[in-house]
Chain A
Amino acid sequence: MAKMTLEELRRLRDKKQNELQKRDIEGKDSRIIIGMGTCGIAAGAKPVLDAFLEVLEEKHIDNVSVTQTGCMGLCYVEPTIEVIVPGMPDVIYGKVDAATARKIVEQHIIGKQLVTDHMFDRPAADIIKKDGGK
């Protein structure tokens, strides 16, 4: 990627914002985002990551991206992950381990059902989104 001018930066920003929205509306890709701050890793986020990759491959699911993020603010229930599946609410799961990862893929991603025992709320509104995070 080359050095940008002001206009190029603005265009990139718009492009990225649209991409994110498009994903929701057109229902293309699902995302699993894993909290990979030091607390998450210390609590066992790496095996969780590996478990997701393993199960997704096992089930031949290739439209789910698995990425990382920082502290979600739910340190007391690490490892935490966010699951974004089009048509379903974005959900945060905590106290995730390899077994839960499997359950999430099977129940939530494939079965479109929430996995009840591990659901947690984001602790605060998103100040970047204009409406606070809907």
Chain B
Amino acid sequence: MAFRNYILVCGGTACESSRADQIYQNLIEECKAQGVADEVQIVKTGCFGFCEQGPIVKILPEDSFYVKVKPEDAKELVSEHVIKGREVARLLYDKESSRKHAKVEDIKFYQKQFRIVLRNCGFIDPENIDEYIAREGYQALEKALFEMTGEDIIEELKTAGLRGRGGAGFPTWMKWNFSRQAANDTKYVVCNADEGDPGAYMDRSTLEGDPHSVLEAMTICGKTIGANKGFIYIRAEYPLAIHRLEIAMKQAREYGLLGSNILGSGFDFDIEIRLGAGAFVCGEETALLHSIEGHRGMPTPRPPFPAVKGLWGKPTVINNVETWANIPVIITKGGNWFNKIGTADSKGTKVFALTGKIRNSGLVEVPMGTTLREIIYDIGGGIANNKKFKAVQTGGPSGGVITEDDLDTPIDFGSLVRIGSMMGSGGMIVMDEDDCIVDVAKFYLNFTVDESCGKCAPCRIGGKSLCNILEKITIGNGTMKDFETLETIGEAMKKGSLCALGQTAPNPVLSTIKHFKDEYLAHIVDKSCPSGTCKKLVKYTINAEKCIGCTACARKCPVAAITGERKQVHIIDQSVCIKCGVCMETCKFGAVEIH
């Protein structure tokens, strides 16, 4: 038999230390005492994520959320809520209105996350169109086809204030409007699903979990601008997303929600999938369009912009997956609903892929304006393994690092730029004390150099030069002049590169130099890597207290850098040592140490 009530006691660390265990015990006793032990299951769960209001107790099925609970409250909770079925108002979160009457937009706060883009992910079977339809799916399309004009739709988007989520943050209504106003019989709608930033998987999850949201949005755009053909350009490394999209398109076509004469409206719109082939640069819109055209994926100068002259020279709206996923909700709930979420310059939510040295890594969707601290500590659970926070990198290879000082910055397009980084597509990588910041910059530069298309001189040559300099620094050959050189080349790349790949490639370097100059100086002047990551800069030494003089390491050393008689403490000659690490591997006594 099912239980009448389930009492969940938050067992997260914060709540534990506030006596959650005591509460748990008291509840068990009270249930016994008040005779409802058989009807109630009391369980301890993981962290609810609302630590500042802990200890937390949640009672189901009413979904009552009790905060700042004390052990002595157990009696009342059982007698009032369990037995009499009345919520204990004074303990409820949000005293003004109980959860039953709260409007959706008021509920978000304790959980910090607000899922608009990911609204259906985790709720529906993406391979079953009926489930999408049941959750207001294609309702926006109905409105767009039968109740709204193109102008109405543009107005709604303008009111909503949606800005592109691919990284540039261009106002979506404006882009659609340019295409709408461009005089041409042929226009196109394109979805950029070439998500290439290392560590970013927001678009993948959206397409795998809710492919119809993108199909519906693109069809609405087609109607708005006067296009009958759409393309989804998706990287070939996402086979499951491609598979789900194909199924979704097939099902949509069967239902007449895609293809000719949609819902009997007389409007035709169909979509074709085009696969990428392993080029990060094809996420840049002009390179992407050229790739669809069958040409080499290289960017071309803008202006003219794709909205006016895009695919095959025709007006083309190209938006990121996340931007598309927002559209149906804006149409069904209205632009005014949307613009209440977020900040003055950035409306709505943003999905971030929170990864790195964080306890609870994963996708988080938060209203714009949420602070970095809230994301990292409240949602993310803080730094793993009790290490110290060092920096968080946002914007992928285009972004900069953000340090402790700026963690209370509310996130939006403008604020991140002001503190030297950028939103990008949503990657958020957390670093701790064990990460070498120079190595991080080197990693990103290696990536952009590898992915550079090679067309323009500033990126092709400048990027490689920056990379070589960083490599030099990490193996101990850096000089003070390198700072100036990095700065000069960085500026030339920022201003002279043809596309954002090159323009933003210097950001990780320049940003890390700004915030972590000391670490760079350690590498350049002291020839040492404080975090112990740069292998060539670590010092191998023998701990005199542990060494028993067995000579094993000296014999294995390929450059004979170790001296010492049998049974005498051995010494490594630093001027000869090539830091291969064989001695450390060989020593059975842990006497070889790294600095």
List the interface of chain A (C-beta within 8 A of B): 1-6, 9-10, 12-13, 16-17, 19-20, 33, 35, 37-39, 41, 67-76, 82, 85, 87-89, 94, 112-114, 116, 119-128, 130-132, 134
Contact between B131 and A16, CB atoms less than 8 A apart: yes
Pick the residue among A70, A76, A87 that contacts B209 (CB under 8 A): A70
Contact between A69 and B49, CB atoms less than 8 A apart: no
Please name the residue on chain A nearest to B58 by beta carbon. Answer: A121
Complex Cα spacing A20 to B264, Å: 28
Q: Is B541 an interface residue (CB 8 A)?
A: no
Complex Cα spacing A68 to B114, Å: 22
User: Which chain B positions have C-beta within 8 A of A3?
Assistant: 254-256, 259, 261
Residue from B49, B104, B108 with most neighbouring chain A CB atoms (10 Å): B104
Complex Cα spacing A41 to B205, Å: 12
**Shortest beta-carbon distance from A101 to chain B in Å:** 18
Contact between A73 and B6, CB atoms less than 8 A apart: no
In the complex with contacts A5-B264, A9-B263, A119-B45, A71-B363 CB distance below 8 A: yes
Q: Is B210 an interface residue (CB 8 A)?
A: yes
8 Å CB contacts to A: which residues of B252-269?
A: 254-257, 259, 261, 263-265
Q: Given contacts A69-B125, A120-B45, list 9 more A-B pairs with CB under 8 A.
A: A1-B255, A6-B264, A38-B205, A39-B205, A68-B126, A89-B6, A121-B45, A125-B107, A127-B333
**Could you write out 30 A-B pairs with CB less than 8 Å apart?**
A1-B255, A6-B142, A6-B264, A9-B138, A9-B257, A16-B130, A16-B134, A37-B240, A38-B204, A41-B240, A70-B124, A70-B208, A71-B208, A72-B121, A73-B121, A74-B362, A76-B359, A88-B6, A89-B6, A89-B61, A94-B46, A119-B8, A121-B48, A124-B108, A124-B365, A125-B114, A125-B115, A127-B114, A128-B120, A134-B63
Q: Is B43 an interface residue (CB 8 A)?
A: yes
Contact between B122 and A72, CB atoms less than 8 A apart: yes
Complex Cα spacing A56 to B121, Å: 26
Complex Cα spacing A38 to B133, Å: 24
User: Which chain B positions have C-beta within 8 A of A87?
Assistant: 2
Please name the residue on chain A nearest to B205 by beta carbon. Answer: A71
User: Which chain B positions have C-beta within 8 A of A38?
Assistant: 201, 204-205, 208, 238, 240-241
Pick the residue among A13, A39, A71, A127 that contacts B134 (CB under 8 A): A13
Q: Is B309 an interface residue (CB 8 A)?
A: no
User: Which chain A positions have C-beta within 8 A of B63?
Assistant: 89, 134
User: Which chain A positions have C-beta within 8 A of B259?
Assistant: 3
Pick the residue among B44, B102, B122 that contacts A69 (CB under 8 A): B122
Contact between A73 and B134, CB atoms less than 8 A apart: no
Contact between B99 and A70, CB atoms less than 8 A apart: no
In the complex with contacts A6-B264, A121-B48, A124-B114, A70-B122 CB distance below 8 A: yes
Contact between A127 and B329, CB atoms less than 8 A apart: yes
**How many of chain B's residues touch chain A, expressed as a range?**
35 or more
In the complex with contacts A75-B361, A122-B122, A127-B104, A113-B3 CB distance below 8 A: yes
**Shortest beta-carbon distance from A117 to chain B in Å:** 9
**Shortest beta-carbon distance from B490 to chain A in Å:** 34
Please name the residue on chain A nearest to B261 by beta carbon. Answer: A3
**Shortest beta-carbon distance from B263 to chain A in Å:** 5
Contact between A12 and B362, CB atoms less than 8 A apart: no
**Shortest beta-carbon distance from A122 to chain B in Å:** 7
Please name the residue on chain A nearest to B139 by beta carbon. Answer: A13
Contact between A69 and B46, CB atoms less than 8 A apart: no
Q: Is B119 an interface residue (CB 8 A)?
A: yes
8 Å CB contacts to A: which residues of B203-253?
A: 204-205, 208-210, 238, 240-241
Contact between A73 and B142, CB atoms less than 8 A apart: no
**Shortest beta-carbon distance from A100 to chain B in Å:** 14
Contact between A76 and B360, CB atoms less than 8 A apart: yes
In the complex with contacts A88-B2, A125-B107, A125-B108, A73-B255 CB distance below 8 A: no
Complex Cα spacing A113 to B333, Å: 38
User: Which chain A positions have C-beta within 8 A of B107?
Assistant: 125, 132
Q: Is B589 an interface residue (CB 8 A)?
A: no
User: Which chain A positions have C-beta within 8 A of B128?
Assistant: 67
- B250-293: contact bitstring with A at CB < 8 Å (1 yes, 0 no)? 00001111010101110000000000000000000000000000
User: Which chain B positions have C-beta within 8 A of A17?
Assistant: 134
Contact between B201 and A39, CB atoms less than 8 A apart: yes
Contact between B127 and A9, CB atoms less than 8 A apart: no
User: Which chain A positions have C-beta within 8 A of B486?
Assistant: none
User: Which chain A positions have C-beta within 8 A of B3?
Assistant: 88, 112-113
Complex Cα spacing A34 to B348, Å: 29
Residue from A38, A121, A128, A131 with most neighbouring chain B CB atoms (10 Å): A128
Contact between A70 and B210, CB atoms less than 8 A apart: yes
Complex Cα spacing A68 to B124, Å: 8
Contact between B104 and A1, CB atoms less than 8 A apart: no
Pick the residue among A4, A70, A82, A94 that contacts B205 (CB under 8 A): A70
Complex Cα spacing A35 to B125, Å: 9
Complex Cα spacing A16 to B265, Å: 23
Residue from B49, B118, B130, B362 with most neighbouring chain A CB atoms (10 Å): B362
Contact between A123 and B134, CB atoms less than 8 A apart: no
In the complex with contacts A6-B264, A88-B3, A73-B41 CB distance below 8 A: no
Please name the residue on chain A nearest to B102 by beta carbon. Answer: A132
**Shortest beta-carbon distance from B588 to chain A in Å:** 37
User: Which chain A positions have C-beta within 8 A of B365?
Assistant: 73, 124
Closest 9 pairs (CB-CB, A-B): A70-B209, A75-B362, A3-B256, A72-B122, A16-B134, A89-B60, A124-B113, A112-B2, A71-B205
Please name the residue on chain B nearest to A16 by beta carbon. Answer: B134
User: Which chain A positions have C-beta within 8 A of B204?
Assistant: 37-38
Complex Cα spacing A55 to B249, Å: 34
Pick the residue among A9, A33, A94 that contacts B133 (CB under 8 A): A9
User: Which chain A positions have C-beta within 8 A of B120?
Assistant: 70, 128
**Shortest beta-carbon distance from A25 to chain B in Å:** 13
Complex Cα spacing A130 to B107, Å: 12
Q: Is B135 an interface residue (CB 8 A)?
A: yes
Complex Cα spacing A87 to B60, Å: 11
Complex Cα spacing A34 to B111, Å: 23
**Shortest beta-carbon distance from A23 to chain B in Å:** 12
User: Which chain A positions have C-beta within 8 A of B329?
Assistant: 127
User: Which chain B positions have C-beta within 8 A of A116?
Assistant: 43-45
**Shortest beta-carbon distance from A116 to chain B in Å:** 4
In the complex with contacts A12-B133, A128-B136, A119-B43 CB distance below 8 A: yes
